Structure 1
Amino acid sequence: MASIDISVRGLSKHFGPVRAVHDLTFDVPAGQVTGFLGPNGAGKTTTLRMLLGLVRPTAGQALICGRAYPDLPSPRRTVGAVLEATGFHPGRRGRDHLRIAAYSAGLPLARVEEVLDEVGLSDAAGRRVGGYSLGMRQRLGLATALLGDPQVLVLDEPANGLDPAGMAWLRDLLRERAATGRTVIVSSHVLSEMAQTADRVIIVARGRLTFDGPLDRLEAEAGSLEEAFLRLTTDHDDAAAAAAAR
């Protein structure tokens, strides 16, 4: 049985009267790519931010390797995360960005050239990040996440800005990480890509869990990931709206 590196129990987040996440409970096993899916506003990014200690939960907990993120002894060696392809100094060269990140995390500088090669940015590493395309910034974010060779990879919309060749490269990267026993969770709106990449999926709508299980089981029941996604999210929204109207 696969080990569990991410465990979420009764996780909720309220922003004033708005319930962004409501009582989520799920596990993310090692050795698989898990797709974290839902429509805009479903609470995916808020959930990932709580997992990474960037947002304090209203209730419940989200653990990585049995600990809350702030309690991890070596966060960068345990978790690599990309929540958005921003936060880079536009005047800084890609290689220098990675060197600073490695130094600040106590990681060997030798990893910089290794991750540049892994994400296909070696030739552009001497250029200033302000001249990078969105796809190149996504690759730089992934390189930063991979510096510590982490056990857990947490990605929010990593395919944004990637061309078809870049998406195929990303798919191979994620599956290779999972094949070595690591944990990969990916939030994405690109259902066709998730259908080719994920082993299991977690689907949320309006902050609530609507499905958690193997992708092949979901496809067998609904015919395709897209059909299942529309049924699980649209039906939930319609039911919630009807309940609110009563």
Structure 2
Amino acid sequence: MSDVSVRGLTKRFGEVHAVEDVTFDAPSGQVTGFLGPNGAGKTTTLRVLLGLEQPNQGSAVIGGRAYRDLPSPRRTVGAVLEASGVHPGRRARTHLRLLARAAGLPHQRVDEVLRIVDLADAAERRAGTYSLGMCQRLAIAGALLGDPEVLILDEPTNGLDPVGVRWLRDLLRELAAEGRTVLVSSHLLAEVTQYADRAVIIAGGRLRYQGPLSGLTENGRSLEDAFFSLVSDQGQTEEVLGR
């Protein structure tokens, strides 16, 4: 399986330093929660990792290769950065079939992922009739089409009801148990504690912590308390690395 490795990543947009010298790992067989306040640089980091932005310095690689150099990207990486992008008049099954055809993936995989995300009974409905939670499930289905080694999700619980949140939690744990690499950006701290093995925290574009989730909750401290300590003005004066 393929690990995610980010080394000295810096990305600027004009005078704005979105990400500055960030280094962390997301190993295979584990769920890594990618945490930080709004504007911390999480989405920018993921966009660089997926080849949608070019870094000013440093690297972000998957299995030792930049995304653009992967021989079969869809079979290596599945990603959801937003749940939109589906034509509202297109049926869910048709949408997934088009994605599969474009990636050279087997036709039968479409029905498999529809069952995984529990949309088999709604596969002939048009995307415009879907709730936000159903759109999230459809987007995740698209990410799973290639049976990827690495899954990268940006705020995947948006729009999910409690049943959907629990379903996603179980799915992430199952995928990690199969040896896959799972990297999930989230702002729901309590939910992250339900599925993550590791945490990466950034604020102001800089790394504040990377390491086992348990390293943040030692001595009875809550993840929320640890998080706010790290991203506060005082916490931002020093990088903290978990071991």
Q: Distance in 2 between matches of 1:236 and 1:72?
A: 40
Do 2:208 and 2:236's aligned partners in 1 also have CA atoms closer than 8 Å?
A: no
- What is the aligned partner in structure 1 of residue 152 from structure 2? 154
Do 1:38 and 1:205's aligned partners in 2 also have CA atoms closer than 8 Å?
A: yes
What is the aligned counterpart of 2:108 among 107, 110, 113?
110
Secondary structure at 2:3 match in 1: strand
Aligned identity (percent) is 66
Do 1:4 and 1:27's aligned partners in 2 also have CA atoms closer than 8 Å?
A: no
Secondary structure at 1:162 match in 2: coil
- What is the aligned partner in structure 2 of residue 38 from structure 1? 36
- What is the aligned partner in structure 1 of residue 226 from structure 2? 228
Q: Distance in 1 between matches of 2:234 and 2:182?
A: 27
CA shift, 1:238, in A, is 6.6
- What is the aligned partner in structure 2 of residue 243 from structure 1? none
Secondary structure at 2:75 match in 1: helix
| 1:144 partner letter | G
Change (3 A) 1:4 1:101: closer
Taking structure 1 as the reference length, the TM-score comes to 0.94
- What is the aligned partner in structure 2 of residue 166 from structure 1? 164
Do 1:4 and 1:28's aligned partners in 2 also have CA atoms closer than 8 Å?
A: no
Q: Is residue 144 from structure 1 mapped to residue 161 from structure 2 by the alignment?
A: no
- Gap runs ≥5 in structure 1: 241-246
Aligned residues: 238
What is the aligned counterpart of 2:21 among 20, 23, 31?
23
Q: Distance in 1 between matches of 2:30 and 2:159?
A: 24
- Gap runs ≥5 in structure 2: 239-243
Aligned pairs for 1:1-246 (under 5 A) are 5-221=3-219, 223-236=221-234, 239=237
Q: Distance in 1 between matches of 2:143 and 2:207?
A: 27
Secondary structure at 2:99 match in 1: helix
Do 1:222 and 1:228's aligned partners in 2 also have CA atoms closer than 8 Å?
A: no
Do 2:2 and 2:150's aligned partners in 1 also have CA atoms closer than 8 Å?
A: no
Taking structure 2 as the reference length, the TM-score comes to 0.95
